[in-house]
A and B are shown apart, each in its own frame.
Chain A
Amino acid sequence: MKDVKLVAAFAENKPGQVARFTKILASANINIRWLTVASTGPFGVMKFLVSDPKAACQALKHEGFVTKLVDALAIEVPDKPGGLHAVADCLASRNINLDNASGFIVNNRAIMVVEVSDYGLARGILQKQGFRVLAQKELPL
């Protein structure tokens, strides 16, 4: 399995919720690299990119939270103008829908994390175009 795993967690949409999760992950000694929050009305879903997704899931489950590991692509993007566009354009050309896309920079490397509609197809096209799609253990975490 080459894809990166995100930890998705169900939460109420109210103040203090992110802190409840981060506290649990901190005490489980798990490093959080990236976090998104998607909410609608009274609830939402948080997604974490962490050093150890399985351990993070276990730690949250243990505290009674509903969690799920979901797939994502981590793509190394050239850190220059038009770098991100090249990735987006490449996926758009094959009609692949992007979801929950964002990025971060670590050790001067730009990493884009994205959920897509078709992982096999997306990975193939990106690699063909010369982009590096990172596996979990290749992530600079």
Chain B
Amino acid sequence: MFRDQAIETLDRAALERLQLKRLQETVRRVAAHVPFYRQKFAELGVKPEDIRSLADLRRLPFTTSADLRANYPTGLLAVPLDDTLRLHTSSGTTGKPKALFFSRQDVDNAAELCARSFVMTGITQKDVFQNMMTYGMFTGALVTHYGAEKVGCLVIPAGPGNSERQLMLMQDFRTTFIHLTPSYGLYLATFLEKHGVDPRRDLALRKAFVGAEPYTEETRRKIEEGLGVDVYNSYGLSEMNGPGIAFECEQKHGMHLWEDHFLIEVIDPQTREPVRDGEAGELVMTTLSRAAMPLLRYRTRDITSILTTLCACGRTHRRLNRIAGRSDDMLIVRGVNIYPQQIERVLMAQSGVGRNYQIALEGLDEMTVKVELAEAGFEGQVEQLVKLQNHLAEKLRTEILVKPQVQLLPPGSLPVSEGKATRVIDKRKL
């Protein structure tokens, strides 16, 4: 299903002409209205009229999250403050957040792209949407909320957590699709199981949109199994509208990124040079339609690659592969680069252990992976548990090249996350 078939299947040449026109307009506007970019352009000796083709994108400066913080709160605005309609922030672990402004047109575009994404997966106005993302300054809930309203769905702004109430709402209002983080999805699946709810029999759920944290195919399968739904992967970051900028279609093979609104590049994060087509690197994005706060070549820190083949659905907008990790989440243990997702992949593929996990780093680079034992993994003998631990440690070593300690815990011992999970506890004295 298409919401805007003409633009979603626009041939590449026409799409690129549209991108160039919008890029040129964006560059002219920031040069005229944003002192930060005016100064960057001067340093690089580049003028708006130098941008004659999409290849000239590489002449433009990068924007980093540090730039956003340095220009907090209003330094990157390209319109008068009166013309802005909404403020979102992206939380930082330290210091000030990143302030992100949206004009009326920006709010509308963000919702429209979400609506496009929902319709792409088969959502119609008959659907009932229970939004389990955090409402508030975070873009996750509000942007999808307005997107689903555009489609005409009944929207239940439930927010995250309070699983008893979530269940009641899903039952009473026959919710057909939900939007939530993978960690809450796993938790909710366990919750339903514990309360004897068979989602296929007792609920009307059909689809779940899962995002805001990177996750693995194994986690997708566990959520699909546990909630009785089709899980669609979505990608977004607050700096670029939040959710709905890249979404899976019914093929579930890569996320179409809406290229009429964003220009994408994949670079080597060290050299900042583009990687070869299809290779993994850091995703860099340029807004093409943003009025209030256009961003050029924003470094997302997210590691992914672009699928270059055509999608069977007929859309011409290219697809991102599943996010392999956020370069900010990368751990370095005994000199080895490790993404938590690698550990998650191993744990999710192992029967007999639960869905929650934590990675503890202590002392001098000692790594312990804590995971809860599940009913299926217990045969009643200590020896068998030791074997399971050793087996997991060995599997992890093959995946991450460092052999961690594995610690089995009783179910419910690890903190439950109903929003974004804290997977890594780093107490190393390095």
Contact = CB atoms under 8 A, between A and B. Distances in A.
Interface in A1-19: 6, 8, 10-12
A124 to B, nearest CB: 23
A43 B79 CA distance: 61
A60 B397 CA distance: 34
Contacts of B412: 64
A65 B375 CA distance: 9
B379 A10 contact: no
**Chain A contact residues: over half helix, strand or loop, or mixed?**
strand
Interface string A42-64: 11110100000000000001001
A68 B378 contact: yes
Contacts, number: 52
A66 B411 contact: yes
Contact of B375 (A42, A43, A66): A66
B407 A42 contact: yes
B378 A8 contact: yes
B373 interface: yes
B382 A70 contact: no
A8 B381 contact: yes
Interface in B304-340: none
Interface string B344-380: 0000000000000000000000000000011101111
B410 A45 contact: no
Given A10-B410, A66-B375, A45 B381 contact: yes
Q: Which of B373, B375, B378 has the most CB of A within 10 A?
A: B378
Contacts of A102: none
Contacts of A68: 375, 378-380
Chain B CB count within 10 A is highest, among A10, A43, A67, for A10
B380 A45 contact: yes
A38 interface: yes
A10 B385 contact: yes
A97 interface: no
Nearest to B412: A64
Contact of A65 (B380, B386, B408, B410): B410
Contacts of B381: 8, 45, 70
B370 to A, nearest CB: 10
A123 B86 CA distance: 77
Given A11-B410, A43-B408, A66 B374 contact: yes
Contacts of B374: 66
Given A12-B409, A12-B413, A66 B379 contact: no
B382 A12 contact: no
A40 interface: yes
B205 to A, nearest CB: 25
A39 interface: yes
B404 to A, nearest CB: 14
Contact of A40 (B375, B379, B386, B413): B386
Contact of B382 (A6, A44, A66, A69): A44
A85 to B, nearest CB: 26
A44 B411 CA distance: 14
B194 to A, nearest CB: 8
A70 B380 contact: yes
Nearest to B354: A66
Nearest to A68: B380
**B408, B410, B411: most-surrounded residue (chain A CB, <10 A):** B410
A67 B412 CA distance: 14
Contacts of B410: 10-12, 64-66
Interface of B: 373-375, 377-382, 385-386, 407-413
- Pick the 5 closest A-B CB pairs, nearest first: A8-B380, A70-B380, A68-B380, A38-B382, A45-B382
20 contacts: A6-B380, A8-B381, A10-B373, A10-B408, A12-B410, A38-B382, A39-B382, A43-B407, A44-B382, A45-B381, A45-B385, A61-B375, A64-B412, A66-B374, A66-B411, A67-B378, A68-B375, A68-B378, A68-B379, A70-B379
